[in-house]
Amino acid sequence: MKLKLTSDDRSEIDLLLGEAATAAKAPSPGYVAAAGAQHVEAVRRVLQLLQVLPAADPPVDLVDRTLARISQTSGQLIEAPEIGKAADRHAHRPA
């Protein structure tokens, strides 16, 4: 069976992902009560699952290779990126 959201679910998604992200449209104090605590919790639990979605960090030489590719495409000769040098620079980057 395909799932369909209730209007409260949709409102809660908009609150969490849309309108809440813009300070100009902060939700009214009574919104949560109006939407219903159960719907708030349900949508939040669904979205919380996404937090564990992994994302691999970029390779340490991604910037260098990107710049080299752009330079090559622009018709300019450019030295190949030095992997060690790039790694040294990124080694100082905060996690």
Partner 1 sequence: MKMLSSSNSLRHAADQRTPGKAGGRFKDGMKDRHRVETLQPTSAVYRAEPSDEQLLAAYRVGDVSSFADLVDRYQRELFHFLVRFVGDRAAAEDVFQEAFLQVHQSADQFDLQRRFRPWLFTIAANKARDMIRSQARRPTSPLQAAINSGDDESGEYLDLISSASTMPHDDLEKRELQMSVQKTVMSMPDHLREILLLSYFHQFPYKQISEILDIPLGTVKSRLHAAVAFFADRWRVANLGRSAS
Considering only 4, 28, 29, 33, the residue that binds partner 1 (CB under 8 A) is 4
Residues composing the chain: 95
| Cβ neighbours of residue 15 closer than 8 Å, sequence gap 6 or more | 27, 31, 35
Would you count residue 81 as binding partner 1 (CB under 8 A)?
yes
- What are the residues binding partner 1 (CB under 8 A)? 1-6, 9-10, 13-14, 17-19, 21-22, 38-39, 41-43, 45-47, 49-50, 52-59, 62-71, 73-79, 81, 85, 89, 91-94
